[in-house]
Amino acid sequence: MTGRMKFVWVALRLTMGWTFFWAFIDKLFGLGFATEPASAWVAGGSPTLGYLKFATAGPFAPLFQAIAGNVFVDWLFMLGLGLIGLALLLGMGVQIAGWSGALMMAFMWLSNLPPANNPIVDDHIIYIFVLIGLATVKAGQWFGLGPWWSRKVKDYPLLV
């Protein structure tokens, strides 16, 4: 792979990592971007309640509305955002972060069908392909802790 291609994958990895990690931080502390301070997780708010209860639409909306605000779902969602974001930012565990991030994006896409501006494709679908690409090319091997991490988990290839 050429240096330019590696740069593109590193840039995608870091921007996707920051996208996930920023969502985690904003929902945790309620920084006023997507989450108001009174709704922050540390203030007792639910990171899933508002979206899943009021913003879901389409054939799967009742399923997503039924799990809105569930403590287990809140923890799973926040752990997913935080760990996927950190893994991508650090270049560690990019393979599992890419696949699990793609799964999270697929659920988010399913929660609001059809997408507002296109009957099939929205940003979640684009993110799915980017995350699968990151996992497939093992983008953590460049500019990050990926090489060190790969040596530590060499017996567990999914964790690379």
* Sequence ranges of the domains in the chain: 3-159
> Quick one: pLDDT at residue 160?
83
> Quick one: pLDDT at residue 157?
82
Regions of the chain where pLDDT drops below 50 = none
Helix (H, G, I), strand (E, B) or coil at 160: coil
Give kind and range of the element (H or E) at residue 21.
helix 3-29
Provide the β-strand partners of residue 57.
112
> Quick one: pLDDT at residue 156?
87
CA angle in degrees (0–180, nearest 5) for 159-109-39:
85
- The sign of the torsion formed by the CA atoms of 42, 124, 128, 140 equals negative
Burial of 5 (C-beta count, 10 Å sphere; 0-12/13-18/19+) = exposed
> Quick one: pLDDT at residue 41?
97
